[in-house]
């Protein structure tokens, strides 16, 4: 029994798709769909893509929890019918579409995490049937669209980066147009600026796990997915927690040669993310973010990582005394000295120590520190203010201050793969 069979057996997997895959199957695009009206546009955007050399499957998981409201059930049934009709008119052996209909998921676990897991586990099984352990599974959303080179750029990237465990795919929310009110475009501009500020601030702090973790724009190798235990069942933030495990494997990468366009619409389907942020924006009229000084705390701390490996107790005491009060208290609350000793005792080299250190002090723990430090020690500030301050810290003296201009600046930083020196 190989590792894939072990994974599928452990998770009690039963296939939902009956037909055999194309023997050349290499990419599986997984789309969770709940109470969604824009699925056809998403499917069409993938259909419009230039075909890669290898075969592709799109797996749509139309789902709802048990005891779901009648309105949502009816919406899902309509989506199922519309998608089925659309699929019948779009047949291509190199790009196949499949629907998994799950109308009564256990209420305790039902949500986007479980829906992604159902689709991604199905992708594992189908890639196994195609005897392709190096196959790629991508995350997508039922209200997102992609550029026409989406599939060929994913194929090319992983072909040219054979050790890459996964990749974050470049994304841009629409920030102008006629589909939404100007208020929504203004809000999503600020929200995306917050995401890009957070990513670049982590890079400014020298954290090696600074990547975007957006559910509609990532790709992972099938073997990495299995090795890290698959997708979690979280009802929100599943993409962040899952990708942190993949990033920790090393050789994570970025695909900046294509683009995903997530929808900026309001939504209460999950408690955070684009949709909920837009609802908050319309209520409060402001989007705030973490103070740059909290990232400077993290940067100062990370600067001592190598010193932690060869230190005396006196050295550690001296180092900790130099940290900000908020970070010292946070580390004490998280048993840092005990964790550090355990890491050191299991590492024979500095390189191994670094890997294990950042497995512990990962991006999730950094976010926990940011939230902790803003309870008493710092105040969140408007995103434009902090974005300008960070740009100055990075050595840029911006003449722009308007949100759209700032966003374009940060988009270019992300597109270039910029990492602070």
Cα-to-chain-centroid distance, residue 137: 13
- With a CB cutoff of 8 Å and minimum separation 6, the contacts of 352 are none
Taking only the tens place, the pLDDT of each residue in 122-150 is 999 999 999 998 999 999 999 999 999 99
Higher pLDDT, 168 or 265: 168
The domains located in the chain, with CATH, are 3-283 (3.90.550.10), 292-376 (no CATH)
Taking only the tens place, the pLDDT of each residue in 203-212 is 999 999 999 9
Q: How far is CA 414 from CA 123, 263, 339, 386, in A?
A: 29, 20, 33, 17
pTM for the model? 0.93
Q: Residue 16: exposed, middle, or buried by beta-carbon count in 10 A (0-12, 13-18, 19+)?
A: middle
- With a CB cutoff of 8 Å and minimum separation 6, the contacts of 58 are 28, 29, 31, 43, 46, 95, 96, 97, 98
3-state SS class at 326: helix
Q: Which of 376, 297, 362, 374 is nearest to 334 (CA)?
A: 362
* pLDDT band for position 421 (cuts 50, 70, 90): very low
Q: Which of 321, 354, 326 is nearest to 340 (CA)?
A: 354
Cα-to-chain-centroid distance, residue 91: 30
H or E element: which one contains 196?
helix 182-204
* pLDDT band for position 197 (cuts 50, 70, 90): very high
């Amino acid at each position: 029994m190989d590792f894939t069979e072990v994974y599928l057996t452990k998770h009690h997997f039963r296939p939902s798709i009956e037909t055999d895959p194309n023997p050349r199957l290499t990419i599986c695009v997984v789309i969770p769909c709940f109470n969604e009206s824009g699925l056809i546009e998403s499917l069409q955007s993938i259909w419009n893509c230039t075909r890669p050399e290898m075969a592709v499957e799109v797996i749509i998981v139309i789902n709802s929890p048990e005891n779901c409201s009648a309105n949502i059930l009816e919406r899902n049934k309509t989506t199922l019918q519309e998608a089925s009709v659309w699929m019948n008119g779009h047949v291509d052996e190199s790009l196949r579409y499949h629907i998994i209909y799950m109308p009564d998921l256990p209420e305790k676990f039902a949500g986007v995490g479980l829906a992604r897991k159902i689709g991604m586990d199905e992708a594992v099984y189908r890639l196994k049937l195609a005897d392709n352990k190096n196959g790629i599974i991508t995350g997508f959303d039922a209200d997102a669209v992609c550029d026409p080179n989406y599939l060929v750029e994913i194929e090319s990237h992983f072909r040219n980066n054979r050790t890459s465990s996964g990749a974050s795919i470049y994304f841009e929310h629409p920030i102008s147009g006629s589909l939404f009110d100007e208020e929504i475009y203004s809000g999503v501009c600020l929200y995306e600026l917050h995401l890009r500020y957070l990513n670049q601030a982590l890079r400014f702090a020298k954290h090696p796990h600074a990547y975007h973790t957006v559910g509609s724009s990532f790709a992972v190798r099938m073997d990495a997915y299995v090795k890290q235990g698959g997708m979690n069942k979280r009802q929100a933030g599943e993409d962040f927690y899952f990708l942190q495990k993949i990033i920790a494997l090393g050789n994570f990468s970025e695909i900046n040669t294509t683009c995903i366009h997530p929808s900026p619409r309001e939504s209460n389907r999950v408690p955070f993310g684009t949709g909920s942020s837009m609802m908050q924006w319309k209520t409060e009229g402001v989007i705030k973010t973490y103070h740059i000084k909290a990232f400077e705390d993290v940067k100062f701390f990370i600067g001592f990582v190598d010193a932690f490996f060869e230190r005396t107790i006196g050295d550690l005491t001296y180092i900790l005394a130099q940290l900000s009060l908020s970070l010292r208290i946070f580390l004490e609350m998280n048993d840092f000295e005990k964790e550090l000793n355990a890491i050191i005792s299991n590492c024979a080299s500095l390189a191994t120590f670094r890997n294990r250190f950042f497995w512990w002090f990962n991006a999730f723990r950094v976010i926990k520190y940011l939230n902790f430090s803003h309870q008493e020690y710092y105040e969140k500030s408007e995103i434009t203010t902090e974005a300008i301050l960070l740009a100055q810290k990075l050595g840029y003296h911006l003449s722009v201050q308007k949100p759209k201009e700032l966003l374009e600046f940060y988009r270019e930083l992300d597109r270039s793969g910029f990492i602070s020196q």
